[in-house]
């Protein structure tokens, strides 16, 4: 299996910090949106878009592209920042997130934003959509892979389990589901709201190949993605153990920052912390 050069990983870690800075600025300007779940999803998105996935920002409709579907649509700022950094559209679009008449909708809209595969924001739909894309790929003898990211709380939805069954039934080995396992939803801890454990046993008893890793370790994420792609005759789920609000001290594991944007002071502190992290990585380079 392919190994990854530490220098390359450092670069990606830097990228992740920059994405986090975009997220904070976007949400601060928009005065609304979801910091916690956006920040926890960043490292997986960086691994997917800047290394693992086969995609071409100049040809967002390429029929052979790998697909990424953000089922937890409220993490749109993370997706938009990654798409902008990949040059699907201009970086300055990020400045008008959630504004009337602007491209970047509060939740992903596939009719509005190049690179957005599915319109999400109502939780629970993404894996079903991904199944359709994966089945079409098999039918057309295409080689593309389908990636879909779900929130852990999102897997409360019954529809997710209908989709889990379908992917198993059709042996959709071209699907990789990623669960952002940050243990928080809105009303509190996932285990107190509606018990999810054992997440591993649930998915594996539905016939899925299960990989569990630290969802902020980019090297491990890349290796897991390679492993998932190589795994045949079964869909794979990667359980990403993450921290909601990752990278900003006072947002980490803080359920209050699920859907509340930073105010000016909070934004300043967050940017300061992220700048510090950036410096550290730069000197390590």
Partner 1 sequence: MSKKEMLNPRKAYGEALIELGRKYKNLVVLDADLSKSTKTIMFAKKYPERFFEMGIAEANMMSCAAGFASCGKIPFASTFAVFATGRVYDQVRMDIAYSNANVKIFATHGGISVGKDGVSHQMLEDFALMRVLPNMTVMAPSDATQTKKIVHLMAEEYGPMYARVGRANAPLIYSNKDVEDLKIGKGLIVEDGSDITFITTGTMVEPALEAHKNLKNQGISAKVIDMHTIKPLDVQLILKSAKDTNAIITAEEHSIIGGLGAAVAETLMDNNICIKFFRMGIKDIFCESGSPADLLKKYELNEKYMVKKAQNLLKK
Ligand X SMILES: Cc1ncc(C[n+]2csc(CCOP(=O)(O)OP(=O)(O)O)c2C)c(N)n1
What is the contact surface with ligand X in residues (CB under 6 A)?
36-37, 40, 72, 74, 121-124, 151-154, 180, 182, 184-186, 244, 258
Tokens 């789920």 belong to: 237
Tell me: does residue 264 bind partner 1 (CB under 8 A): no
What residue 52 binds from partner 1, ligand X, Mg ion, none (CB within 5 to 8 A, per partner kind)? none
Asked whether position 153 contacts Mg ion by CB under 5 A, the answer is: yes
Q: CA torsion 211→212→214→217, rounded to 10°?
A: -10
173 binds Mg ion (CB under 5 A): no
Choose among ligand X, Mg ion, partner 1, none what residue 72 binds, the Cβ cut-off being 5 to 8 Å by kind.
ligand X
- By beta carbon distance, the residue nearest ligand X is 151
CB atoms within 10 A of CB 56: 12
DSSP codes, 41-94? HHHHHHHIIIII----TT-TT-TT--EEEESSGGGHHHHHHHHHHTTSS-GGGG
Find out whether 113 and 103 touch, Cβ atoms under 8 Å: yes
Name the one range near partner 1 by CB under 8 A: 60-68, 163-171, 185-193, 273-281: 185-193
| Helices marked H in 119-177 | 126-139, 158-169
Shortest distance (Å) from residue 189 CB to partner 1: 11
Q: How far is the CB of 144 from ligand X (least distance, A)?
A: 26
> Any contact of residue 13 with partner 1 (CB under 8 A)?
no
CA nearest neighbour of 84 among 51, 107, 113: 113
The structure tokens listed for 75 are: 């993490």
User: How many positions of this chain bind Mg ion (CB under 5 A)?
Assistant: 5
Instruction: Please report, as ranges, the residues that interact with partner 1 according to CB under 8 A.
Output: 30-33, 73, 98-102, 104-107, 109, 119-124, 153-154, 156-158, 185-187, 193-194
């Amino acid at each position: 299996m392919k190994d990854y050069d530490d220098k390359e990983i450092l670069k990606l870690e830097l990228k992740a910090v920059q994405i986090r800075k975009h997220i904070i600025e976007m949400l601060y300007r928009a005065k609304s949106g979801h910091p916690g779940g956006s920040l926890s999803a960043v490292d997986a998105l960086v691994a997917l878009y800047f290394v693992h996935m086969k995609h071409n920002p100049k040809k967002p409709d390429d029929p052979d592209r790998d697909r990424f579907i953000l089922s937890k649509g409220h993490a749109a700022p993370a997706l938009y920042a990654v798409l902008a950094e990949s040059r699907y559209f201009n970086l300055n679009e990020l400045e008008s997130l959630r504004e009337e008449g602007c491209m970047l909708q509060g939740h992903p809209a596939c009719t509005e934003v190049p690179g957005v595969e599915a319109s999400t924001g109502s939780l629970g739909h993404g894996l079903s959509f991904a199944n359709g894309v994966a089945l079409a790929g098999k039918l057309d003898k295409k080689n593309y892979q389908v990636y879909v990211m779900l929130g852990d709380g999102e897997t409360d939805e019954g529809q997710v389990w209908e989709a889990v069954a379908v992917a198993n039934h059709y042996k959709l080995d071209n699907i990789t589901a990623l669960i952002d396992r940050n243990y928080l939803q809105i009303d509190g801890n996932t285990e107190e709201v509606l018990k999810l454990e054992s997440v591993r046993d649930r998915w594996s008893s539905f016939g899925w190949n299960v990989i569990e890793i630290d969802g902020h370790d980019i090297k491990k994420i890349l290796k897991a993605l390679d492993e998932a792609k190589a795994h045949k005759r079964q869909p794979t789920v990667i359980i990403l153990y993450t921290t909601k609000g990752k990278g900003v001290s006072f947002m980490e594991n803080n359920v209050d920052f699920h859907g509340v944007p930073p105010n000016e002071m909070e934004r300043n502190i967050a940017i300061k912390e992220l700048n510090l992290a950036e410096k550290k990585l730069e000197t390590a380079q």
